[in-house]
Amino acid sequence: SISLDPTLYDKESNDIAQSWCDSPLNFGGLEPGSAGVQNPSCDALPESDCSDGEDNDGDELTDCDDPDCAWEPSCSPFQEGALVITEFMANPAALADAEGEWFEVLNASDESLDLRGLLIGDGSGDGHEVTGDAPLLLEAGQRAVFAASTDAVPEGVTYVWGAGFGSLKNKEGAIVVAYGSLSLDRVDWSEELGFEVASGVSLSLSNDKETAEGNDLASSWCPGEALMENGDLGTPGGVN
């Protein structure tokens, strides 16, 4: 990406070509960029090693304390299995799919997590990056609901996804949750795998299978039974 020098964050300076430079940071292990984190100085080299205990770029910050290392998996606030997909509505009856689809994740870690920077999607494209001006905190043991619209879950939606997410297919689909290049959890379903997606009924993960491994099997899931305010069945944001 092309990155504005952090000392020149004003509407006049960003009109000048010399205020910009090619970003040296590694965006999630993919193309260079610093989406969602502090831009590096255009005069400075990035931290070259994020685990050597050295200040490689002379900014008095080392390893994971340096924003240059924000996209290194070892520096990620998330680790594999920290977020677990625990419920999803792929075939809503109360609303059209484009408005009524949703899924739920559990913070299975022992730390509060800021959900900004997550990549969520249906596995068919690049996904949608969770953004926000303020921290989107999910406390340990709590659940967040991602949805196609605020109307999808009258009881409350944590975040409405936008372009890039895709959609939750009825017969064969997937939900992917990642942070940069680090995959946190993924659920794939199809009739061939033993999943049955009914109209207006969520699929809910058994509360004794709430791990990134436990949700891989169709036998760990069952139809939602609780009546939602919109008439569909499910427990978004609540204990399964």
Q: Quick one: average pLDDT of 201-218? A: 96
- 18-27, 75-84, 212-221: least confident range: 18-27
How confident is the model over 72-111, as pLDDT tens digits?
Answer: 667 777 888 899 999 999 999 999 999 999 999 999 999 8
Contact 152, 100 (CB under 8 A): yes
Asked if residue 12 has pLDDT above 80, the reply is yes
**pLDDT for residue 35 is more than 70:** no
* Residue 130 or 56, more confident: 130
Mean pLDDT over the full length of the chain: 87
10 Cα distance to chain centroid: 30
Where does the pLDDT of residue 2 fall: very low under 50, low under 70, confident under 90, or very high at 90 and above?
A: confident
- Tokens read off for 152: 């999808």
For residue 43, pLDDT beyond 70: no
Q: Is the pLDDT of residue 70 over 80?
A: no
Rounded CA separation 34/36 (Å)? 6
pLDDT for the residue numbered 27: 46
- Residue showing tokens 């008095």: 60
pTM assigned to the model: 0.74
DSSP string, the chain: -EEE-GGG-STTGGGSGGGEEE--SBSTTSSB--TTSPPPPTTSPPPS-SSSSS-TTSSS--GGGSGGGTT-GGG-S--TTSEEEEEEESS-SSS-HHHH-EEEEEE-SSS-EE-TTEEEE-SSSS-EE---SS--EE-TT-EEEEESSGGG-TT--SEE--TT-----SSEEEEEEEETTEEEEEEEEETTTT----TTB-EEE-TT--STTGGGSGGGEEE--SBPTTS-B--TTS--
For the stretch 167-193, pLDDT in tens is: 999 999 999 999 887 889 999 999 999
> Is residue 209 over pLDDT 80?
yes
Query: Distance between CA 54 and CA 131 in Å, rounded?
Result: 31
CA 177/CA 215 separation, integer angstroms: 13
pLDDT at 53 over 60: yes
Compute the residue count for the chain.
240
Choose the weakest-confidence range: 13-27, 47-61, 78-92, 202-216: 13-27
- Rounded to an integer, the average pLDDT of 117-142 is 93
- On the 0-12 / 13-18 / 19+ scale of CB atoms within 10 A, 81 is middle
Could you give the strand order of the β-sheet that contains 128-129, starting from the edge strand earlier in sequence?
Answer: 128-129, 118-121, 172-179, 182-190
| Confidence label for 197 from pLDDT (cuts 50, 70 and 90) | very high
